[in-house]
Amino acid sequence: MAMEEKPSPSLAYVPAGATDLDDLAAAARRCQACDLYKRATQAVFGEGPTPAPMLLVGEQPGDREDLAGRPFVGPAGRLLDECLEAAEIPRDQVYVTNSVKHFKWEPRGKRRLHSKPNAVEIHACRGWLEKEIEIVRPEVIVCLGATAAQVFLGRAFRLTKSRGELLDGAPWAERILATFHPSALLRMRSGDEEEYARVRRAFTLDLAEAASVVKFRSQRSRRGRARPSASL
Ligand code: URA
């Protein structure tokens, strides 16, 4: 696992001995470990049950998330919810978060356009993610997109090569899997219909593959269960 060894600057903002996600989220709202807090409305912390068998990590909050203060509540979140449902993953048993907790954007007319976080910003924020994982104790981590994948699997990791593979998740979880970011699917939605359907199906199957090693509450173990194929 290739999270860098150097302590993340955000660890200076993590309350000593924190075991509660609400306390962590409150502390994250005061984080100034990098400059992104200056232009964002607020820090957007992860959400979900503790412990949770599955933890999904995206890149950073988008425009809607920045305003709402909650992860994955905009169009990418809605698409993610649909695919989780198609993969038969109970949304309320999944913890969702981001690699970077503040929205990074550039003005384009009246709009705020997403801008990719750089390595310094990602490293600065990593302390929050480490703490979340420690508290949530997921069995499987799903990285949504290249940014999250590279946080865990190193900068040499290539989604194009290893997407959908269930990898050893030590020391963070039993398993880790990297797949598309739902925003990438959204961008395809207005293009070639068949290609969009193919990628959406691959994304859903990746989610189902990650779920196959997890036992959700009031579900029998999914290990060895057939992958869902209908309505993907
Ligand atoms: N994209 C992300 O990576 N995270 C969000 O919360 C929303 C969009």
CA of 59 to the centre of ligand 1 (A): 6
Pocket probe for ligand 1: among 59, 114, 142, the residue whose CB has the most ligand atoms within 8 Å is 59
Task: Fold for 18-211, please state it.
Answer: Uracil-DNA Glycosylase, subunit E (3.40.470)
191-105-134 Cα angle (round to 5): 95
pLDDT in tens, 160-208: 999 999 999 999 999 999 999 999 999 999 999 999 999 999 999 999 9
Of ligand 1's listed atoms, the one at least distance from the Cα of 58 is 3
pTM of the entire predicted model: 0.92
Report the percentage of the chain scoring pLDDT > 90. 88
Question: What's the pLDDT tens digit per position in 11-44?
Answer: 999 998 889 999 999 999 999 999 999 999 999 9
Average pLDDT over the chain reads: 93
* Domain parsing of the chain, residue ranges: 18-211
In this prediction, residue 171 carries a pLDDT of: 95
Nearest atom within ligand 1 for CA of residue 99: 3
Residue 1's pLDDT is what? 43
Q: Which residues contact 45 (CB under 8 A, 6 or more apart)?
A: 21, 24, 25, 28, 29, 71, 97, 101, 128, 132
* pLDDT (0 to 100) of residue 6: 87
